[in-house]
């Protein structure tokens, strides 16, 4: 008897936030126990508002899908994460946050921003599109054009999820 793995491909895209909302996509990257984080905040048209790449020092990966499911009451919370999950839930009760997990194929901009920490040991902030590295500009443009990526789903295999998060929230300005 042999183990047969079946695969299928699904189309995955970055989605723009609703009108009057902005979206924060974030990701983490660990290589040789050195970790970094990256993220991008975009408006409802997919335009850059702010992006960052952070050097986070030594550490290991975490499972963002588990965290998102715990915060959204879809999983029971492991005791090691209880305090952090309760803090996130309390904060979300007083705001207009929507917390969702997204796959790497829909989060390429944040993924690349997170991996910058491995070549540039400094934390960096970007406030204009022109400041972004060329590769990240291209990925943002592809997202704005609603271009699809394809995710291969394998059955009978364990999938390891990194630290990808997607958050949508209302941004209000008072003048």
Model confidence at 174, pLDDT cuts 50, 70, 90, reads: very low
Distance in angstroms (rounded) separating the CA atoms of residues 48 and 109: 11
* Domain total of the chain: 1
Q: Provide the pLDDT for residue 66.
A: 80
Instruction: Tell whether 2 is covered by a domain.
Output: no
Residue of higher predicted confidence among 126 and 160: 126
CA angle, residues 147, 151, 153, in degrees to nearest 5: 160
pLDDT of 161 higher than 60: no
Host domain of residue 128: 7-170
96: domain CATH number is 3.30.420
Say what the pLDDT of residue 63 is. Answer: 65
Query: Residue 38 — very low, low, confident or very high, per pLDDT cuts 50/70/90?
Result: very high
Q: Does residue 175 lie within any of the structural domains?
A: no
pTM of the model: 0.76
Q: Is residue 66 within 8 Å of residue 99, measured between CB atoms? A: no
Q: Say how far apart CA 114 and CA 36 lie, in whole Å.
A: 5
Q: What is the pLDDT of residues 56-108, one digit of tens each?
A: 888 777 667 787 888 888 888 888 888 988 988 888 887 877 788 888 899 99
Instruction: Say which residue, 121 or 139, is predicted with more confidence.
Output: 139
pLDDT for 7 beyond 90? no
- Domain membership of residue 99 (yes or no) is yes
């Amino acid at each position: 008897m042999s183990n047969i793995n079946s695969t299928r491909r699904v189309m995955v895209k970055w989605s723009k936030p609703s009108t009057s909302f902005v979206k924060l996509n974030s990701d983490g990257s660990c290589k040789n126990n050195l970790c970094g984080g990256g993220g991008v905040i975009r408006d409802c048209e997919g335009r850059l508002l702010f992006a960052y790449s952070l050097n986070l020092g030594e550490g290991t990966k975490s499972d963002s899908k588990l965290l998102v499911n715990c915060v959204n009451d879809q999983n029971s919370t492991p005791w090691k994460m209880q305090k952090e999950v309760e803090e996130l839930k309390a904060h979300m009760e007083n705001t207009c946050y929507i917390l969702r997990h997204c796959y790497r194929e829909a989060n390429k901009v944040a993924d690349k921003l997170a991996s910058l920490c491995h070549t540039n040991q400094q934390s960096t902030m970007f406030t204009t599109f022109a400041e972004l590295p060329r590769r990240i500009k291209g990925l943002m443009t592809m997202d704005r054009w609603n271009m699809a990526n394809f995710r291969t789903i394998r059955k009978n295999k364990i999938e390891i999820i990194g630290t990808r998060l997607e958050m949508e929230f209302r941004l209000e300005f008072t003048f």
